[in-house]
Copies of this chain bind each other. A is one copy, B any other.
């Protein structure tokens, strides 16, 4: 029985967003034959830190948080991954367990691609390897910037930055509210602070006319105000 056209990797537009676009038709066909589609419900984990993965996950739909629990038991969200992102790639290449946990922030659809399909292509398709390398180099730059932000900026600045990031990355709806809705606790885990302080700071932003809230939904009212704040001009 033939699968639907759009469920085949060769026809999947998602791959234009990641390193898989460097693969040839035949290679994609082989991957498509061995891949497994999976639905992940909001709140479910794709994998947990330390786990040995048998392959990578290509995100077709939905959003996932990648986090790690520090020695003091607090969770830190390191990245928010959505459509096109390939999860588990890094740990597969360095041949370790995953360093991060991946939990769905809303309902997701992912394709699981077995390990040997990826490692095989890294062995025999230099263009693919180079694409991953370039992507990883970029990720490393982002990580370095993140380190500097966490180390040197205040919660105020970091929260302002996160709100702007959510706006530019995931966009806003017709009413101007951020499309990606996170719990206050999750926002705090991205910012790297306690939930209470996150809530208080949001309330302060609201009082200052920078944002507006409606339940857990957030609307940015003064983008340039937030940008100034993030750069330290308070």
Q: Is A176 an interface residue (CB 8 A)?
A: no
- How far is A231 from B76 in the complex, measured between Cα atoms in Å? 16
Give the residues in chain B near A148, CB-CB below 8 Å: 68, 70, 76, 78
In this complex, the interface size class of chain A, counting residues with CB under 8 Å from chain B, is: 35 or more
Q: Could you tell me if A192 and B99 are in contact, using CB atoms closer than 8 angstroms?
A: no
Q: Is A74 an interface residue (CB 8 A)?
A: yes
Q: Could you tell me if A70 and B152 are in contact, using CB atoms closer than 8 angstroms?
A: yes
Q: Is A93 an interface residue (CB 8 A)?
A: yes
Q: Is A132 an interface residue (CB 8 A)?
A: yes
Q: Could you tell me if B144 and A99 are in contact, using CB atoms closer than 8 angstroms?
A: yes
Chief secondary structure at chain A's binding surface? helix
- Return A196 CB to nearest CB of chain B, in Å: 16
Q: Could you tell me if B72 and A152 are in contact, using CB atoms closer than 8 angstroms?
A: yes
The residues in A between 209 and 234 inclusive whose CB is less than 8 angstroms from any CB of B are: 230-232
Q: A129-B126, A130-B122 are in contact. Are A137 and B94 (CB under 8 A)?
A: yes
Would you give 12 A-B contacts (Cβ < 8 Å), ordered by A?
A68-B144, A68-B145, A71-B231, A71-B232, A72-B152, A78-B144, A78-B148, A94-B141, A129-B133, A136-B136, A143-B144, A147-B150
Binding site for B on A (CB under 8 A): 68, 70-74, 76, 78, 90-91, 93-96, 99-100, 122-123, 126, 129-130, 132-134, 136-141, 143-153, 157, 192, 230-232
